[in-house]
Amino acid sequence: MNFHDAREILNNWSSFFDPSVSEASSNKRLEPAPRSEAARKAWWYESDRVIDWRSPRCSAYLLAYLQIANGPIPLTGIPLDDGFIHPDRSVMQALDHAGCVRMDDGMFHLTDKGEALLTPWLQIDRATGFSVTVQRRRG
């Protein structure tokens, strides 16, 4: 998947969850390399910006990142064919703090709480590892 495709997924989910949003507010440019400092959990909590994990933005970004990564989300960035997309720090901090994701082995893993948040739009087939099938219906 290239950056254009990843950005389209992020924009589509952003407007799906909040019709007043025409495009995602972050991840607007392709990153050339992983963000090595993001491998530390403390880095995710250095931001002063606090957002509500129940916001449409958090649901949209989490779904998009899972779809783009096709599984757990690398802390340092999701590899693409032409570079990387770095997960939004405020969004992932809110989701981690709320217990919707957990950081382990360099990845954000979806928890039962996170899966419940996304259940109307996400199905996970654990028999084949962690494959993501996205259901495009509003719930």
Average pLDDT over residues 47-76: 92
Average pLDDT over residues 75-85: 98
Two structure tokens written together for 67: 């779809």
**What is the reported pLDDT for 139?**
47
Nearest to 101 by CA among 120, 80, 85, 118: 118
Give the Cα separation of 48 and 125 in Å (integer). 36
Give the Cα separation of 74 and 69 in Å (integer). 8
Residue ranges covered by each domain of the chain: 3-134
Residue 115 dihedral angles phi and psi, to the nearest 5°: -65, -40
**What is the reported pLDDT for 132?**
60
